[in-house]
Amino acid sequence: MTRPGRRTGRGFSLVELVIVIVIIGVIAAIAIPRVSRGARGAGESALRSNLAILRSAIELYASEHDGKFPASGSTDAAAFADQLLKYTDIAGNTSDTKVGDYKYGPYLRKQIPAAPIGSKKGESTVKVVNADSLGTPDGSTAWLYSSKTGEIILNAPDTETDESNKAYNTY
């Protein structure tokens, strides 16, 4: 027999709701760090991949242009991009079409890969230096490239690091 004014079998008790909330909290405490760590790992993997693509393109360009790197002897970022993205002749002059002496390249399909991680994430900008050393990465562009040595790195300050405290600019 039920008492008047009292419902039976409807809804959840306060204890049942608290138990469900605690279970959801425990699952979230376990899952959220794993998901964020996975996303960060994906960015680091993409950085390694983009650097491999860029380094391969630079090396292939040099092998076909008598050892000269893209934008050789200059600090012209546009020349660097053009020489990797367009057809070139042996001297490094560029053309949109493959005609005559413009038989080399392109070494990248569509554009310079974007930085997948760090403060310049999503940008494809390149700072070109004409020196044996790249100098100190300053974060002003996505990539830092030496037209003298062919070296390219992520132009991230030393403070941007992976989980093991390895600076992204040392990948």
Residue 141 pLDDT > 60, yes or no?
yes
Res 6: pLDDT: 59
Q: What is the 3-state secondary structure (H, E, C) of the chain?
A: CCCCCCCCCCCCCHHHHHHHHHHHHHHHHHHHHHHHHHHHHHHHHHHHHHHHHHHHHHHHHHHHCCCCCCCCCCCCHHHHHHHHHCEECCCCCEECCCCCCCCECCCCCCCCCCCCCCCCCCCCCEEEECCCCCCCCCCCCCEEEECCCCCEEECCCCCCECCCCCEHHHC
Residue 3 and residue 19: Cα distance in Å, rounded? 28
pLDDT exceeds 60 at position 7: no
Among the listed residues 124, 147, 127, the one whose alpha carbon sits nearest the alpha carbon of residue 65 = 147
Residue that wins the pLDDT comparison between 141 and 6? 141
Share of the chain above pLDDT 90, in %: 60
CB distance 168 to 118 below 8 Å:
yes
pTM above 0.85, yes or no: no
Q: What digits encode the pLDDT tens for the residues 150-169?
A: 999 999 998 998 888 899 99
In this prediction, residue 35 carries a pLDDT of 62
Strands 152-154 and 143-146: antiparallel
